[in-house]
Amino acid sequence: MIAMLLLVGISPASADPGQIEVFVTTGTTVSTTPADRRGIPIEIHHVDAVDRATEALSQGLPADPEAAAAIAQERLDARAHRDLEAAYDPLLRAYRLNIEQVPAIVFDGQAVVYGTTDLARGLREYERWRQ
């Protein structure tokens, strides 16, 4: 079931949203075709990116906490540090938008459709709400 949460009012003048953001976990398929055809910019946010980044840093660490900490520190070079910081971006964006669950499709940072990654379905809900 799809639920829509209105974050703030939107003027009914424009038909298509200016931007779509989709919040998902890794392995979730997102159908972007209708928005692609309409030229709507789409951004996919993987909210579990932090888990993947920390798993990569933790892979193969010894059981001894001190030895593991030393190796992890060596692995956390400048690039890995930037990657880990970037992994938090989707979570921060979801927090700023008050996203309560995933999957979620956000239109113009103002309206949310929960429970689907099918943009055709999400756009129909958005358009129905706009009318």
Give 8's pLDDT tier (boundaries 50, 70, 90).
Answer: very low
Please state, for a pLDDT cut of 70, what percent of the chain lies above it.
89
Instruction: For residue 68, give every residue at least 6 positions away whose Cβ sits within 8 Å of its Cβ, in sequence order, or none.
Output: 58, 61, 62
Domain ranges of the chain: 3-130
- Report d(CA 4, CA 76) in Å as an integer: 40
Regarding predicted confidence, which is higher, 43 or 3?
43
Q: Tell me what pLDDT residue 10 has.
A: 45
CA distance to 16, 23, 120, per residue, from 37 (Å): 12, 20, 11
Q: What's the rounded mean pLDDT across residues 33-60?
A: 87
Q: Tell me what pLDDT residue 3 has.
A: 56
Give 59's pLDDT tier (boundaries 50, 70, 90).
Answer: confident
Q: Tell me what pLDDT residue 9 has.
A: 47
pTM of the predicted model as reported, rounded to 2 decimal places: 0.78
Please write down the HEC assignment for all residues of the chain: CCEEEECCCCCCCCCCCCCEEEEECCCCCCECHHHHHCCCCEEEEECCHHHHHHHHHHCCCCCCHHHHHHHHHHHCCHHHHHHHHHHHHHHHHHHHCCCCCCCEEEECCCEEEECCCEHHHHHHHHHHHHC
Q: Tell me what pLDDT residue 14 has.
A: 55
Give 126's pLDDT tier (boundaries 50, 70, 90).
Answer: very high
